Amino acid sequence: MAVNLRGRHLLSLRHHTPEEIKFLLDLSRDLKNKKRAGIRGNLLAGKNVALIFEKPSTRTRCAFTVACIDEGGHPEYLGKNDIQLGHKEDVADTARVLGRMFDGIEFRGFKQSVVEELAKYAGVPVWNGLTDEFHPTQVLADFLTIQEEFGCLKGIKLVYVGDGRNNMANSLMIGAAKMGMHFVIGSPKSLFPEASLVAECKKIAEECGSGAVIEITEDPKEAVNGAHVIYTDVWASMGEEDKLAERKAILQPYQVNKDLMAATGREDTIFMHCLPAVKGYEVTEDVFESRQSRVFDEAENRMHTIKAVMVSSIGNL
């Protein structure tokens, strides 16, 4: 059956089937090849996209902007001081105003409830550019990068080490469950993901028959044994800077360094990070700059996968 994502939101990967995720990755690959061939497109011609940012951004902002312009659309950046959202106007009213003027809305901010309320009232597709709970566009870029490296996702052992209950750990777990990956979180018990989300992901894997395996462990070296991919993120997410000293104390054993990379027992293990990285904390400089690092492939792939998300939901396909 043909996949049709026209008019669809992307709030997390919870609501996308494995076939729909595969479609987005295939479309991303085609759009990437098109861009590298120097072909400008018109799949977003006549489309206007609102980019709402409560949190600062490099990759998300640039990816949405360039992706939109590449296909003939107009992106409009709306910073937290540019509009009334959360000040004089509530989310529902902002959504209804922007939905009358724009064809799609991106939101990057703190609360997942805000992006969900935007989607409820806007009347146009809404895309989650990051919230405290989920980061779905990053996971699509990560999966495209892994697919480019290994030729597949099913059966790949993807290990996330560090803060196991942040938005990246949550989002990778959902995606891995749908795509049949062996996903492991190596984290201190105090930073384990929500038990309800782990149970949900195991149920997803069972119901869609993906064959995915979901594991949580406190032992970082046990976690990475046999890993194709070691993934990490900052030890204190945006808004948690006051917890950095505490996190440094408990997360030091989970630092991605040469010893942890070697503990995989594989020669082809790659290192991934959603960026920005605090080198010397969650990852050492030598691993970040090594031949195993794919962090800038991921960064570029944000643009191609975000382009696929916009094109598939509001584009002239």
Pick from 242, 250, 197: nearest CA to 220: 250
Please check if 232 is assigned to a binding site.
no
Tokens for 164? 């196991």
Instruction: Kindly provide the b/e burial profile for residues 264-277, where b requires at least 16 CB atoms within 10 angstroms of the residue's own CB.
Output: beeeebbbbbbbeb
Residue 251 near residue 233 (C-beta atoms within 8 A): no
Q: Hey, which bits of the chain come out as E strands?
A: 48-53, 74-79, 104-108, 126-130, 157-161, 182-186, 213-217, 229-232, 270-273
Please check if 145 is assigned to a binding site.
no
Please check if 196 is assigned to a binding site.
no
Please check if 58 is assigned to a binding site.
yes
What secondary structure letter does DSSP report for 279?
B
Cis peptide before 136 (omega within 30 of 0): no
Distances (CA, A) of 16 to 19, 119, 146, 178, 204: 8, 15, 19, 9, 11
Please check if 252 is assigned to a binding site.
no
The span from the CA of 100 to the CA of 122, in Å, is 8
Q: Write out the catalytic residue numbers.
A: 108, 135, 138, 233, 274, 302
Please check if 108 is assigned to a binding site.
yes
Please check if 302 is assigned to a binding site.
yes
Residue 279 near residue 36 (C-beta atoms within 8 A): no
Please check if 60 is assigned to a binding site.
yes
Please check if 238 is assigned to a binding site.
yes
Please check if 136 is assigned to a binding site.
yes
Q: Which stretches within 151-294 are classed as H helix?
A: 167-179, 195-208, 220-224, 244-251, 258-262, 285-288
Please check if 168 is assigned to a binding site.
no
Residue ranges of the annotated binding site are 57-60, 84, 108, 135-138, 167, 233, 237-238, 274-275, 302
Q: Which residues are annotated as a binding site for L-ornithine?
A: 167, 233, 237-238
Which segments are annotated as binding site for carbamoyl phosphate?
A: 57-60, 84, 108, 135-138, 274-275, 302
